[in-house]
Amino acid sequence: MIAAQKVTTSCPYCRASVPVEIHSIIDVGQNPDLKGQFLSGRLNSATCPNCRRTFQMGGALLYHDGSKDFLGIFLPHEINLANKDRQRLIGDLNRRLVDSLLPEQRRAYLFQPKEFITLNGMVEAILAADGITPEMQRAQRERMQLLETILRGATSADALQAMAKEYDAKLDLNFFTMLAAMVEQYAAEGDTQSANMFAALYQQILPQTSFGDKARAQQEAVGQINQQTTREQLLNMIVAAEDDQLEAYVMAGRPLIDYGFYQELTGRIETAQAAGDTATAQRLTSLRERILALTAQLDQASRQMLEEASTFLRDLLQAPDPQTLLQENWDRVDDAFMQVLEMNLEAAMQRGNRPVANRLNAIMQTIMQQMQSAQPPEVQFINELLTTEYPSGTRKLLVERRAELTPDFLAALDEVAGMMEQQGQAEVAKRLRDVRGQAALVV
């Protein structure tokens, strides 16, 4: 870990003295959080305790991302140094970085940092190393400008509708993805007001766009497919589908698209040809090609996800300390990984391979615990109550944790019980209502 430097500076607005932490070195491997702070312009900024204004500290900055072999340095113009001193400053920063790395991480590129004359140039290069090209960055800036235009102009429902119409072509998946990401980011930072404002905008503008229409059509498509759907029904839906919906049908109906499905489709092409209906035959033939291409694409994506999940699981099984590896790679625990983990656990138990089954089980337990501790305390408490013996065990637990039985918690219990009922989990719902009755007596 490379420590920040603690210095005292004077506020550029009111001259009060302000303590600041300055990072001159970002090593993404050691301090992943700093990358986001830097890219969003929040790194090395300070808020004056006297006048509450925020200002940015200048200074040299060395940025290293070992996973991308990227090493860049920015020296601001204000640092007016003779070449010899520049080299010494670069050398000093570089040495501190290299000293903090493990021997196997010290590679040749580390001795030649790429110099940037502007911070923006460095930001662009970092994003480019992430696969975000300058064109994509420009497009993102334009989307931000469009959002600002809409926020300024949407003074009434009518005005918003007019703007949705005017900018329809630009209000696409990328725009709504950006808007959703902003809602999440503000919510994560605790700025509920901004989060709510952007969420409301999202809700209001989406249904007024072509993109919103398309998304709704796709949702409807997916909603029509369930466990009882037959190959023939799926084929009927696909043949009647609008262009926008085809992909959604293929995705949701993928398990039904097999040899039998293609036989049925080929049969219809032949029937059309025999009847001399060339137009239909041609339409169905090109439809068959598109379905083949879409399924190939889907299968490759899911194969890749499963392969990645298997690799991670193998690493975990071979690791001397799987728990730590798991904590460090929490983002790799997704649906595909859980699927692979369960399959392997089942296979190990069937083969009677106890050591492997035990290790897989330990991994599973850690994940379950982690998922539970990530839940809000109320939900954790409800889960605990559900897994405790009723009635005496739950009563004891409720008495012990009487302080947590707030009106909000009791309302949450009611709400969860109602939800369980709606989902057809009558037993769980009844247990929750019983526990709710106990809680009322304890309070």
Write the CB contacts of 21 (distance below 8 Å, at least 6 apart in sequence): 4, 5, 6, 44
Question: Does the footprint of Zn ion cover residue 11 (CB under 5 A)?
Answer: yes
CB of 19 to Zn ion, least distance (A): 13
Question: Does the footprint of Zn ion cover residue 13 (CB under 5 A)?
Answer: yes
Task: Give the pair of three-digit tokens for residue 443.
Answer: 């309070």
Residue matched to tokens 């060339």: 278
Q: What 3-state DSSP class applies to 224?
A: coil
Give the residue, chosen from 47, 50, 266, 380, that forms a contact with Zn ion under the rule CB under 5 A. 50
Please give the Cα distance from 60 to 150 (Å, whole number): 38
- Residue 48 vs 75, nearer CB to Zn ion: 48
Please give the Cα distance from 363 to 340 (Å, whole number): 12
Give the residue, chosen from 39, 51, 136, 347, that forms a contact with Zn ion under the rule CB under 5 A. 51
Question: Does the footprint of Zn ion cover residue 132 (CB under 5 A)?
Answer: no
CB of 79 to Zn ion, least distance (A): 24
- Residue 51 vs 317, nearer CB to Zn ion: 51
Question: Does the footprint of Zn ion cover residue 19 (CB under 5 A)?
Answer: no
Enumerate helices (H) and strands (E) in the chain, giving the number of each.
19, 8
- Residue 48 vs 252, nearer CB to Zn ion: 48
- Residue 11 vs 364, nearer CB to Zn ion: 11
Sequential DSSP letters for 235-300 = HHHHHH--HHHHHHHHHHTGGG-SHHHHHHHHHHHHHHHHTT-HHHHHHHHHHHHHHHHHHHHHHH
Question: Does the footprint of Zn ion cover residue 157 (CB under 5 A)?
Answer: no
Give the residue, chosen from 2, 28, 43, 48, that forms a contact with Zn ion under the rule CB under 5 A. 48
User: One-letter amino acid identity for 362?
Assistant: A
Q: How far is CA 216 from CA 26, 298, 425, in A?
A: 44, 21, 29
Give the residue, chosen from 3, 7, 10, 14, that forms a contact with Zn ion under the rule CB under 5 A. 14
- Residue 17 vs 383, nearer CB to Zn ion: 17
Question: Does the footprint of Zn ion cover residue 293 (CB under 5 A)?
Answer: no
- Residue 55 vs 409, nearer CB to Zn ion: 55
CB of 7 to Zn ion, least distance (A): 16
- Residue 50 vs 87, nearer CB to Zn ion: 50
Task: Give the pair of three-digit tokens for residue 421.
Answer: 């009922």
Question: Does the footprint of Zn ion cover residue 20 (CB under 5 A)?
Answer: no
CB of 51 to Zn ion, least distance (A): 3
Q: What 3-state DSSP class applies to 25?
A: strand
CB of 50 to Zn ion, least distance (A): 5
CB of 18 to Zn ion, least distance (A): 7
Q: How far is CA 253 from CA 248, 292, 334, in A?
A: 8, 13, 22
- Give the footprint of Zn ion on this chain (CB under 5 A): 11, 13-14, 16, 48, 50-51
